[in-house]
């Protein structure tokens, strides 16, 4: 298996209450070249799990293996795109894409590489610009180019379009689909949008909360591009919605109960 | 253009009031010179080269003192910013040291190093170091954790992470530190020179006072003020603004 998570658990240390368990015993296997979404309400630990795959968070229990090798720390074999573009403001667009490539090849070779990925996200025209001169959507495209330029085995995306307006998000969905088909990357995509997950993914892993766990796993075998008014899409959306509604209600009830006990 | 008129107008009014106070004779002539006398002293001082020499000496002290202050301040600031242990141990004292007016160090400097130029430089160093250190510490704290996380996912860790992400990211705050270190050092320099055996602008000021040349005293005060403002505006504020603009922290 390409990316294998076995009985993965995460507990945050908290001085006051001792510890807060986000989830435990998560088992998830992801095949190469697949586009997999992690979908769930806030607090289910989907972003935490992604950060653990990235190596930015420690694994409390269990193991995460990429091509059989256990993940201990962050590395360029796993590219990450965050909700905030996280570009370096003192570098221009091209220099940002070059950042992870520095020292990994001859100068003209890596420059050519950076140019190629900037072209892929249609930003060749802006490569001399500073990042704060770009719109949010453009910045996020730079971040995608930067992550792809280092040729990671898997691309991790943490609600990458969450902070963008509807229009821009729609355009970026299409661009991401093209990029994915072109590069054949394995993508692990975290989102709380049901529509987004169904529109993009080969597979949607639905997570529940308190405790965080996997509650459903859908394979989506519909041809792309997927239309919002496609009946099969609507049907899937409804199914996932029903599942999540229970989870969200549970959180609300717990919070209300908590409130009442004071 | 309108701005220039406003400012010149203000200056004219102040000079007018000054002349008025002089003409009425509120103070004795020997302690309160007229604007024209001060103008004469300024011209004279520059014409015979006395002020130029004093300025040269002052800038030499400042250059040495400020360079050392920037160096020490940066080292201390990075240390405190990076090491929680160091900050918990020494961070509080830095603020205490920063709050000490630099003139307070002068007696100590004179006892330690005599009436030497080194004593003056010592005071300048103390004047600039702590404010620089505080700002460099803030600069290190201000590095967005998100950028560090992003860099780590690109395989950048340890020393390369420090030099490729943390250092460039903290430059805007570093620039603020530079500007403040300059301002504090300039004040410290005058305090130190005032009580020194010269040469230097502060020494010239006290010398003029000893000979009751109040026209020269006021002339030197004006020079000190003008240099302070010009260096801030032309060098440090401009530098800081350019960096902030370039880093996207200012709307251009």
ipTM of the shown complex: 0.89
Total domains in the fold of chain A? 1
Structure tokens at A222: 């519909």
State the pLDDT confidence band at B251, using cuts at 50, 70 and 90: low
Instruction: Note the residue count of chain A.
Output: 262
Structure tokens at A74: 């962050």
State the pLDDT confidence band at A262, using cuts at 50, 70 and 90: low
DSSP SS3 for B85? helix
The predicted structure's pLDDT at residue A250: 78
Architecture of domain B35-246: Orthogonal Bundle (1.10)
Pairing of strands A18-30, A78-81: unpaired
A191 beta partners: A39
B1 has pLDDT over 90: no
DSSP SS3 for A106? coil
Pair A199, A173: CB distance under 8 Å:
yes
- CATH code at position A96: 3.40.50.300
| Chain A residues within 8 A of B154 when measuring between CB atoms | 76, 79, 99-100, 146, 150
Q: Distance (Å, rounded) from C-alpha A256 to C-alpha A253?
A: 5
Mean pLDDT (whole number) for A222-241: 90
Task: For A45-79, write each residue's pLDDT tens digit.
Answer: 999 999 999 999 999 999 999 999 999 999 999 99
Q: Distance (Å, rounded) from C-alpha A142 to C-alpha A130?
A: 11
| Chain B residues within 8 A of A90 when measuring between CB atoms | 168-169, 171, 246-247
Pair A254, A209: CB distance under 8 Å:
no
Kindly determine whether residue B246 and residue A130, on different chains, have CB atoms separated by under 8 Å.
yes
Rg of chain A (C-alpha set): 19
Structure tokens at A177: 């689909």
Structure tokens at B158: 């340890």
Q: Residue A81 falls within a domain, yes or no?
A: yes
Q: Residue A18 falls within a domain, yes or no?
A: yes
Rounded to the nearest integer, the mean pLDDT of chain A is: 91
Q: Residue A260 falls within a domain, yes or no?
A: no
Mean pLDDT (whole number) for B215-221: 95
Exposed e or buried b per residue across B88-124, where buried means at least 16 C-beta atoms within 10 angstroms of its C-beta: eeeeeebeeeeeeebbebbeebbeeeeeebebbbbbb
Q: Residue A195 falls within a domain, yes or no?
A: yes
Q: How far separated are the first and last CA of chain A, in Å rounded?
A: 49
State the pLDDT confidence band at A1, using cuts at 50, 70 and 90: confident
Q: Residue A10 falls within a domain, yes or no?
A: yes
Q: How many alpha carbons fall within 13 Å on the CB side of residue A70? A: 8
Which residue ranges make up each domain of chain B?
Answer: 35-246
Distance from CA of B158 to the nearest CA of A (A): 12
Instruction: Note the residue count of chain B.
Output: 252
Q: Which domain holds residue A55?
A: 3-246
User: Which residues, in sequence order, are CB contacts of A128 under 8 Å at separation 6+?
Assistant: A92, A93, A94
When scoring A52, A81, A86, A149 by the number of chain B Cβ atoms within 10 A, the one with the most, hence best to mutate, is A86
Sign, CA torsion A13/A17/A20/A21: positive
Q: Distance (Å, rounded) from C-alpha A194 to C-alpha A204?
A: 9
Looking at the partner chain, which of A56, A88, A102 has a beta carbon nearest the beta carbon of B152? A56
User: Which residues, in sequence order, are CB contacts of A12 under 8 Å at separation 6+?
Assistant: A19, A20, A22
């Amino acid at each position: 298996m390409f990316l294998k998570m076995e009985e993965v658990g995460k507990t945050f240390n908290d001085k006051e209450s001792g510890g807060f368990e986000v989830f435990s015993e998560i088992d998830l296997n992801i095949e190469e070249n697949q586009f997999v979404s992690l979908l769930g309400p806030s607090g289910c630990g989907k972003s935490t799990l992604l950060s653990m795959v990235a190596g930015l968070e420690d694994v409390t229990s269990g193991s995460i293996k990429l091509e059989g090798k256990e993940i201990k720390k962050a590395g360029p074999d796993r590219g990450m795109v965050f909700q905030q573009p996280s570009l370096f403001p003192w570098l221009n667009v091209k220099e940002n894409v070059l950042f992870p490539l520095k020292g990994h090849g001859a100068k003209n070779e890596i420059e050519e590489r950076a140019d190629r990925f900037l072209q892929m996200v249609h930003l060749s025209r802006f490569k001399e610009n500073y990042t704060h001169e770009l719109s949010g959507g453009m910045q996020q495209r730079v971040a995608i180019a930067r992550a792809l330029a280092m040729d990671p085995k898997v691309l991790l995306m943490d609600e990458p379009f969450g902070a963008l307006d509807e229009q821009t998000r729609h355009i970026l969905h299409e661009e991401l689909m093209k990029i994915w088909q072109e590069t054949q990357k394995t993508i692990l995509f975290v989102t709380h949008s049901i529509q987004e997950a169904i529109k993009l993914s080969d597979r949607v892993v639905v997570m529940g909360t308190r405790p965080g766990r996997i509650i459903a796993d859908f394979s989506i075998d519909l041809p792309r591009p997927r239309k919002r008014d496609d009946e099969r899409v609507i049907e899937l959306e409804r199914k996932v919605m029903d599942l999540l509604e229970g989870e969200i209600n549970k959180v609300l009830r717990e919070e209300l109960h908590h409130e009442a006990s004071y | 253009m309108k701005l220039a008129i406003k400012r010149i107008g203000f200056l004219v009014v102040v000079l007018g009031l000054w002349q008025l106070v002089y003409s009425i004779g509120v103070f004795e002539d020997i302690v309160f010179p007229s604007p024209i006398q001060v103008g004469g002293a300024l011209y004279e001082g520059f014409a015979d080269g006395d002020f130029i020499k004093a300025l040269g000496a002052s800038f030499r002290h400042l250059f040495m003192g400020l360079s050392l202050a920037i160096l020490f301040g940066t080292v201390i600031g990075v240390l405190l910013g990076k090491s929680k242990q160091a900050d918990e141990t020494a961070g509080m004292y830095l603020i205490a040291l920063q709050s000490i007016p630099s003139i307070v160090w002068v007696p100590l400097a004179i006892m330690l190093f005599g009436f030497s130029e080194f004593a003056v430089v010592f005071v300048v160093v103390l004047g600039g170091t702590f404010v620089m250190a505080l700002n460099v510490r803030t600069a290190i704290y201000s590095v967005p954790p998100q950028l560090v996380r992003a860099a780590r996912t690109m395989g950048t860790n340890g020393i390369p992470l420090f030099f490729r992400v943390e250092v460039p990211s903290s430059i805007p705050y570093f620039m603020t530190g530079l500007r403040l270190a300059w301002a504090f050092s300039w004040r410290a320099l005058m305090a130190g020179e005032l009580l020194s055996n010269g040469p230097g602008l502060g020494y010239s000021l006290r010398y003029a006072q000893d000979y009751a040349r109040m026209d020269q005293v006021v002339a030197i005060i004006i020079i000190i003020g003008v240099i302070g403002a010009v260096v801030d505006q032309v060098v440090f504020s401009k530098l800081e603004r350019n960096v902030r603009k370039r880093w996207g922290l200012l709307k251009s």
